[in-house]
Chains A and B, each alone.
Chain A
Amino acid sequence: MRKSDKLTYTIFFIISAIVLTFISLPLIRLFFFLTPQNASVLKSRSVLMSFWNSLSLSFITAVISAVFGVPLAFLMSKRSFGKFERFVETIVDVPLAVPHTVAGIALLFIFGRRGILGAIAYNSFDFKITGTRVAIVLAMLFVSLSYTVDSAREGFKSVDRSLEKAATVLGAPLHSIFGTIYLPLSRSSILSGFMLTWARAISEFGAVVILAYYPMTAPVKIYDAFTQYSLSTSGAIAAYLLLMCMSIFLTLRFAIGEKR
């Protein structure tokens, strides 16, 4: 190897080390909060409830994203929108670029008590959406649905077109081709989209806090503890949330990676 090449590698490795440290250091520091005396925060019903809310509602969000996002992703992968293709792509990806508090405010105008749909729910069914678990799921969906669509779309796109043609000449109707060819061959892409959406939904704070401060999700609870109690209390809750997320996602990632 040339001397200058060696130097290039060395510099790039140093830069990479900085990036990796920047990401892992704060998280590692947080793990030091996982002490026996801090475990007492888990005895608080409100903390446990917030964890449960975060986990279950983000999971529901990921499921809804898959149910609604996969058909959309399929149409997009087949360029079914014609000249509106770019337009559709932009709409799908816009939530990724919108500040989450902005998303929250925007959703409030639709689902708030005086919002377009919120008013209908309130007047017809006497149901106030804001401040409920429905509102939390709506907020989570808005900011995380894009991940499922994007990932599934790329998965569908990578399926060799001749496989669909082969299935067609063998007599298969489209719904069978979708079920027997596209879905199984895009499984890992759809699953990784599902995971990304779930992870994004768990972490959502901005949009959720505007649509529903209560019932509290874990990020809201941490913020609440941070403003009302102390850094160490919020740090302890944060550490347990981190532990929980890491264990779920590392397990899933491992499981999906194995099957690939």
Chain B
Amino acid sequence: MSSILLKKVNASIGNFDLSDISFSVGKGEILVIVGDNGAGKTKLLETIAGFLPVKSGKIEVFGKDITYTPTSKRGIGFIFQNLALFPHMSVRKNIMYGLKYSKIEGKKRLLEEIAQIFGVKKILDRSPETLSGGEKQKVALARTLITDPKIILFDEPTSALSIKEREKVGIEIKKILKKLEKPAIFVTHNENEAFLLGDRIAIIERGKIIQIGKGGEIFYHPVSEKIAKFFGTTNVFKGTVLKNENDSVVLNVNGKAVTALGKVVEGDEVTMFIRPEDVVLMKEPCKTSARNLFQGKVINILKKGPLIEVKVDVEFEITSFITKGSLEKFGIDMGKKMYVEFKATAVHLVKIE
């Protein structure tokens, strides 16, 4: 049984629509929903929590239909973007708040336990405004978990943190969720956070889930150019299928023959994706299993953090990620002739309908 199940959920908020949202989250699984600002991430969470009404469809939590259950009775935890700690209450009162409305026994002991797990014992009597960003996260999570929700929804709670702190807090959140075996839906617009936290990732765009799957699946097999580009620079080309022999495909891309694997037929128009880290640059061609080998001129070199993006024109412009070491070793420079190589298995094809 899944912890939460959405079946064709439709909702309208002003002139924004969530359409036909269907997915499930397994027991103890973390699903990360990624999307740009305004894609409907928060609206989706608020619909699941019951702050926004469902127009049609069904939401089930551990098999129980909660589509029309009032928010306070859904047994769902919610971590808000601004964390929503009660500013006029101490950390202790914040954490204890939900216990007043639950029938859980041994409340004092529970507080001790939770304080222990989250390492917030020393700050119990402080006021939220005196806490650091990371401490606030812990308090918000402790306040939610103490009521033992069946599933927890996170609405970009780490967005106010620095990149470094965000990663640290993200790992801690994941650790705690896994330890307590709590399923969660975590919303973010940060792809790194998505990979870090998610057992699976769903991509939302204009109120629709457009792809859902394991991180690697979406990263290497995006269903659209938009998703591919969501994870940063990548190679996207259009081509025509020339022939297909036992799913070994030859494509025409700007007059060059590219070999790939896929279930497409002759004459099909396809979009092909190749991750830049799968593209190898060489000074001289060498015998490898890769069947795609092209010669071309370096037309752009762009330093991006630890990696360097090198763009080579081989009738189509292909980008490769290389390290600083390789750049120096091969003496790669603008206008220089280089060989480009990638495996047929590195090419992901999507048929254009």
Contacts and interface: CB of A to CB of B under 8 A. Distances in A.
Contacts of B78: 165-166, 169
Nearest to B88: A184
Interface string A178-189: 001100110000
Interface string B22-41: 00000000000000000000
Given A165-B78, A166-B80, A169-B71, A176 B86 contact: no
Given A169-B49, A170-B147, A171-B102, A185 B88 contact: yes
Interface string B96-111: 0110111000000000
Nearest to A171: B101
B88 A162 contact: no
A172 B82 contact: no
B239 interface: no
Contacts of A173: 72, 101
A162 B98 contact: no
A172 B89 CA distance: 15
Contact of A169 (B72, B81, B82, B100): B72
B97 A172 contact: yes
A160 B147 contact: no
Contacts of A181: 86
B338 interface: no
A180 B82 CA distance: 19
A117 interface: no
B87 interface: yes
A169 B77 contact: yes
Contacts of B143: 170
A185 B100 contact: no
Given A171-B98, A171-B102, A173-B72, A166 B84 contact: yes
Contacts of A170: 72, 97-98, 101, 143-144, 147
B51 interface: yes
B72 A163 contact: no
Interface in A157-209: 160, 162-163, 165-173, 176, 180-181, 184-185
Contacts of A165: 49, 51, 71, 78, 80, 84
A161 to B, nearest CB: 9
B76 interface: yes
A173 B72 CA distance: 7
A171 B80 contact: no
A255 to B, nearest CB: 18
B80 A185 contact: no
Interface string A208-239: 00000000000000000000000000000000
A166 B81 CA distance: 11
Interface string A83-101: 0000000000000000000
B101 A172 contact: yes
Contacts of A176: 100-101
Q: Give the 10 A-B residue pairs with the shortest CB-CB distance, closest first.
A: A170-B98, A171-B101, A166-B84, A162-B84, A169-B78, A162-B80, A168-B71, A171-B72, A184-B88, A168-B72
Interface of A: 160, 162-163, 165-173, 176, 180-181, 184-185
Given A170-B144, A185-B88, 7 more contacts: A167-B97, A168-B72, A169-B77, A171-B147, A172-B72, A172-B97, A176-B100
